[in-house]
A and B are shown apart, each in its own frame.
Chain A
């Protein structure tokens, strides 16, 4: 029972990341009709915004101590963090909370990156075949990866969670299930965070005038344009929003998985499967499929299941994708006419 409960939790936090990336992908596809293979790179950029923010916060004043020498005969460096020297306890607090605080930087930066990407590159490919869009965005993803590798190296860079949520929550005791049912606090935070972001995006599209216009544009772009609304401009902002969703998903994921330059690619392929299973262009489908596949992936890696079906954890997502597409060719919640030309 404990094992099942834990795998559901695993699936939810993993599914949260899949759902956030797939949501951004679907937003870009649903509005601009662009298959954005650089979306994983946006997840990675968000993660590295947090890494960069932490690096700035932990910048140290380096002084040489001539009385002590390194093993290679140079004076020993004495390092003192600037932020703690200048701000004392508040500085230490900032360093401790660097991951959530970094969102203040990540959100505007990713919005800018998204808008710049759309205006600078993507818009030239609106009327080109999907294959061209895939090639150019995939190329862009590789360029972004290599830039990050150049500046941050190839090894993963660990990020700490705030001290207050550094341990594990004794979930078993909450439900009277015993002490062995524990789960890391930060993963619970991540699940909650992804739920908040998903609901915020839905609420934004559902309850604001801007969202209403975007939804109308997604349904019939020409009709909305004929009403004198600059739908292109709004779609550009939606692309920026998609980049923000991917960016914050990456930023908050850094304590779970130390980011390296390749982290976006690891999520991208799975997220495309999520989008296809959910149904191209369906926001609800992307979120549902994200959580569904996350949970299925977790269950398939249980020893009891692997002993019956060895290697099932490696193929479960693709197996489900095949079955869903055979039974429901448009995915779980796909709309008629999307990518069927």
Chain B
């Protein structure tokens, strides 16, 4: 039959229609790779890949190394190896110790370098090249906000590491992003009553603030918390990130009339500014008939090590501390200490917890789909992960839990014993309306890559 003899008659049309209809009606799962990908990096084999994006070089490399240790431990525990750590105390838990949804957990790592562009590039590489279905880690709010945005665009889940700026779950929040770590508002709300109790209502504060998103957020929260208690703010001076020598910013404090210096600095900046403030004799001064005091709103044990004796007696807040005596914290410290010979930092803790929470959300929803994971995490109430009863608030994807106020240990018993918990501020005292910090989650992105 030549092409010229082809005739479309009624019989042929009916045959074609029947065959086509049968093909369309066939269940898609009978057809190999029919669902090539329902969502980005849908696991098809026997394993699932997570992407851990931590600072491996740069100023926060030590913190990044501790985060990575925690991630590795979490993967080990999820795969049923080791002593199980906080999987044994976590409740309600759907984790079975056989990976996630029966698939072995594997991981790839990236180096954020604590730079937003480098962090985005490494996260992009892990998503596009390595097939990571979830990205976690980081030690800076600038990085967290940048990577969260990327994960939203790519359609993968972002479980933030150490990020403390209000903006991460405030004006820059995204539906695919979740934060377990506390924020600057909570630090202010927890520290305010303690500072009033210790130093009184009639105080004049001088702020030195790291000039980037976290610093601004921290200063605003501390000013709200202290000014509402009668304190006056004498000056709030922005300092460049990584200034090194802060002497030219500290000397004006001496003659400002202030009797409290609030250092809205973190990391190396905190180590340097605090050490230098102590060298300038601020802690030995008497101003307005009172002892001059220094406050560091966000404390980290790794950073406290760098500041040496300068941290003794200084108040701050922290997300978690290894000295906590609850069963979950002790289980984690035991597991981490046995593996690495040192207790975990708060950055390590939040990264470990975030990995477990992600895995549990997949198990709860029975899917790796971002839509299912988000649904499971939103409003999820849990306990046994070291912070007491905690809730992932649905409105902003921020965890709400008790906040620790700590003080630099006057007499440390070991090189790790640097901070003492002086107050556990209950969740009710640090909670706020989700609308207060602005922003919008938007829709969950669960599209294929």
Within 177-217 of A, Cβ neighbours of B (below 8 Å) are at: 180-184, 186-187
Contact of A71 among B235, B240, B322 (CB under 8 A): B322
A223 at the interface (CB under 8 A from B): no
* Smallest CB separation, A189 vs chain B (Å): 12
Interface residues on B, range: 35 or more
Separation of A138 and B280 alpha carbons in the complex (Å): 35
Within 302-328 of B, Cβ neighbours of A (below 8 Å) are at: 302-303, 305-310, 322-323
- Contacting chain A: which of B176-184, B330-338, B362-370? B330-338
Interface residues on A, range: 35 or more
- Contacting chain A: which of B31-39, B155-163, B186-194, B249-257? B249-257
Contact of A10 among B58, B248, B306, B309 (CB under 8 A): B248
Separation of A109 and B46 alpha carbons in the complex (Å): 56
Contacts of B307 in A (CB 8 A): 158
Per-position binary interface string of chain A over residues 5-32, scored 1 when its CB falls under 8 Å from any chain B CB and 0 otherwise: 0110010011000000000000000000
Nearest-CB residue, chain B, relative to A71: B333
B99 at the interface (CB under 8 A from A): no
Separation of A42 and B192 alpha carbons in the complex (Å): 45
Query: How many CB-defined contacts (below 8 Å) exist between A and B?
Result: 120
Contacts of A298 in B (CB 8 A): 247-248
- Contacting chain B: which of A127-135, A227-235, A237-245, A255-263? A255-263
Contacts of A167 in B (CB 8 A): 281, 284
A266 touches B242 (CB 8 A): yes
Per-position binary interface string of chain A over residues 42-77, scored 1 when its CB falls under 8 Å from any chain B CB and 0 otherwise: 000000000000000000000000000011111000
B61 touches A303 (CB 8 A): no
Nearest-CB residue, chain A, relative to B60: A154
Nearest-CB residue, chain B, relative to A300: B248
Within 264-312 of A, Cβ neighbours of B (below 8 Å) are at: 266, 297-298, 301-303, 306
29 A-B pairs whose Cβ atoms sit less than 8 Å apart in the complex: A14-B248, A71-B322, A71-B334, A71-B343, A72-B338, A74-B341, A155-B271, A155-B303, A155-B306, A156-B268, A156-B272, A158-B306, A158-B307, A167-B281, A168-B281, A180-B254, A182-B280, A184-B280, A186-B279, A187-B279, A258-B275, A260-B59, A298-B248, A301-B248, A301-B249, A302-B248, A303-B235, A303-B252, A314-B240
B338 touches A297 (CB 8 A): no
A149 at the interface (CB under 8 A from B): yes
B248 touches A3 (CB 8 A): no
A74-B337, A154-B60 known; A14+B254 contact, CB < 8 A: no
A154 touches B59 (CB 8 A): yes
Contact of A13 among B247, B310, B323 (CB under 8 A): B247
Per-position binary interface string of chain A over residues 157-183, scored 1 when its CB falls under 8 Å from any chain B CB and 0 otherwise: 110100000011000000000001111
A313 at the interface (CB under 8 A from B): yes
Per-position binary interface string of chain A over residues 69-103, scored 1 when its CB falls under 8 Å from any chain B CB and 0 otherwise: 01111100000000000000000000000000000
B58 touches A302 (CB 8 A): no
Contact of B255 among A2, A74, A160, A183 (CB under 8 A): A2
Per-position binary interface string of chain B over residues 209-248, scored 1 when its CB falls under 8 Å from any chain A CB and 0 otherwise: 0000000000000000000000000010100101011011
Within 367-424 of B, Cβ neighbours of A (below 8 Å) are at: none
* Smallest CB separation, A303 vs chain B (Å): 6
A71-B330, A180-B254 known; A157+B306 contact, CB < 8 A: yes
A6 touches B279 (CB 8 A): no
B276 at the interface (CB under 8 A from A): yes
A72-B336, A74-B337, A168-B280 known; A257+B244 contact, CB < 8 A: yes
B247 touches A10 (CB 8 A): yes
Contact of B248 among A70, A160, A257, A313 (CB under 8 A): A313
Contacts of B57 in A (CB 8 A): 149, 154
B251 touches A74 (CB 8 A): no
B343 touches A72 (CB 8 A): yes
Q: Please list the residues of chain A having a beta carbon within 8 angstroms of any beta carbon in chain B.
A: 2-3, 6-7, 10, 13-14, 70-74, 149, 153-158, 160, 167-168, 180-184, 186-187, 255-258, 260, 262-263, 266, 297-298, 301-303, 306, 313-314
B81 at the interface (CB under 8 A from A): no
B272 touches A257 (CB 8 A): yes
Known: A6-B255, A73-B337. 5 other contacts (CB 8 A): A14-B247, A154-B57, A160-B309, A187-B247, A255-B279
Contact of A6 among B59, B254, B330 (CB under 8 A): B254
B62 at the interface (CB under 8 A from A): yes
B60 touches A256 (CB 8 A): no
Contacts of A303 in B (CB 8 A): 235, 237, 252
Per-position binary interface string of chain B over residues 266-283, scored 1 when its CB falls under 8 Å from any chain A CB and 0 otherwise: 001001100110011100
Separation of A11 and B444 alpha carbons in the complex (Å): 54
Contact of B252 among A14, A262, A263, A302 (CB under 8 A): A302
Nearest-CB residue, chain A, relative to B413: A76
* Smallest CB separation, A299 vs chain B (Å): 8
Contacts of A257 in B (CB 8 A): 244-245, 272, 276
Separation of A316 and B97 alpha carbons in the complex (Å): 59
Separation of A7 and B245 alpha carbons in the complex (Å): 13
Contacts of A181 in B (CB 8 A): 254
Contacts of B305 in A (CB 8 A): 155
Contacts of B276 in A (CB 8 A): 256-257
